[in-house]
Structures are given as C-alpha cells and as structure tokens.
Amino acid sequence: MATHTAASSSSSSRKYDVFLSFCGVDTRKNFTDHLYTALEKRGINTFRDDEKLVRGKYISPELLKAIEVSKYAIIVLSRNYAFSRWCLIELAKIVECIEETKLTVLPIFYHADPSHVRNQTGTLAEAFEKHEKDPKVNKEDVQAWKAALKEVGNISGWHLNDRYESIVIQEILKRISSELDLIVQSTISNNLVGIESRVKELLDLYVDEASGGVGFVGICGMGMYKSIMHQADQSNCRNVPRQVCLIVEDC
C-alpha cells in the first residue's frame, strides 16, 4: 500500500516506532486502544498520549517532541477529529515532520470519507466554521490546519467503512513490522559471517502474530553474548515480542 514518505534517515534519533494521533471521544476506548495494544504486543514501541493530558488546557511540548522522534505517525481520522484544536495542532506538526524528520504517515479513515478530508466538506466544514468563529484561534493556524488535512487526505491509507477493524489492524501491523524487520537486518555486521540468516530465522520463528504463551530462547556459543547483545542494542529489540525471553550465554 502506497504511503507518503520522504527518503530514509538515520534511526539514531528515533525514540518511538509509532506516534498515534486520534480524537479521544471517538476512538480512545475502542479502535485506537485495540490498535495500540496490538502494536505493543508485537514489540512496536508506540506513543499514545496519556488520557489525563486531554484534560489540560494546552498541548504538551513533550507530545510535539514525541512526533519528531517517531518513525511513523498513524492518524486516526474520525468524525470529531477536526473539531479538536489539539488534534489539528498534532496534525500540522506531523505534516511538517514529513520533510523535516522523514516521518512516514499512515492515515486511517475511521468512518470518514477521504474526499471530505481532502476538501474539508461534510462535518469537517462544520468544524472549521467553528474554529473560524473562535476569537482564540488565529486565521493563519486555520489555514495551516486545512492545508495539513488536504495533504493527509491525499495519502493512501486504510478506509474502514464497513471493514472488520481486526483485519485492518493486522494489515497495519504487517506493514510496519515488515519494514522494521528490514531495519533490524540492515544493522547486522558484515563481519559476522552467516549470522544474518540465523537472526532472520530466529525472528521468523518467534515473532509470530499467532503465537501465544511465553517462549524462552537459549543461545550458546563462543563470543555469542557480545555479538547477540550488540545486535539487540542496535535494533532496540523492536521485533522481539514481550512474551519471549532471550537467554544468551558464552560456552
């Protein structure tokens, strides 16, 4: 599935794999919660704002910083998304980071028509009419929000409509996991002869969405501790699920 992304950059400044942008009243306790749980279970480090932050008056600088240090931004565009100034400020920052930090944007049209997002029609027109009448909102911000929505509306994503949410979530997991797998493989040292195929075999065996329970992996060999731990540090173990325990010992 095509998405809007700029050229790849160094992952050294990345703190999160995914930043979730969503409207709490629409999806916090349903779709977004299910998506967040699935991402974390897969070992994908995901930023989701704390529910208590929503009660605050101003958007947190730490939240905007989290966008800058994320590889992906998943935007859940729901009915009330554009009514939230908080969401629109996030959205403008996300679009800004497409060029500045090479952020990859994955939009989800959650019972929202992509054409309405692009053209700010339907409920989005109502939302911007409200913002334009609000004396606390300046016109420059409104125009920036509209431009950001138009850009995101032109990015290929997932349109839920009448689709099963669980299937869409699995498609998102597959897309992100496959790309993070490539990142892990690219960090493997060329000096470690034959280790790339072994690491791939390990990932294929234990990073399985259908696996359940708790797994233990034992690795024994001369110099294995330093080699495996170095690799784990380089990749941040982002693809090792939490229910797998890695035991490495020099023999």
pLDDT tens digits for range 102-133: 999 999 999 999 999 999 999 999 999 999 99
What is the tens place of the pLDDT at every residue in 15-26? 999 999 999 999
How many residues does this entry show for the chain? 251
C-alpha separations of 94 from 58, 232, 250 in Å:
18, 29, 45
pLDDT at 84 exceeding the cut of 90 = yes
Which residues are catalytic, by number?
90
| pTM of model > 0.75 | no
Question: For the purposes of burial, counting CB atoms within 10 Å of the CB of 72, is it exposed (0-12), middle (13-18) or buried (19 or more)?
Answer: buried
Dihedral (Cα; 74, 80, 81, 83), 10-degree rounding: -170
- Pull the structure tokens for residue 22: 């969503």
Dihedral (Cα; 18, 14, 41, 199), 10-degree rounding: 130
For residue 113, the SS3 value is coil
What is the tens place of the pLDDT at every residue in 192-226? 666 666 666 666 665 554 455 566 666 665 555 54
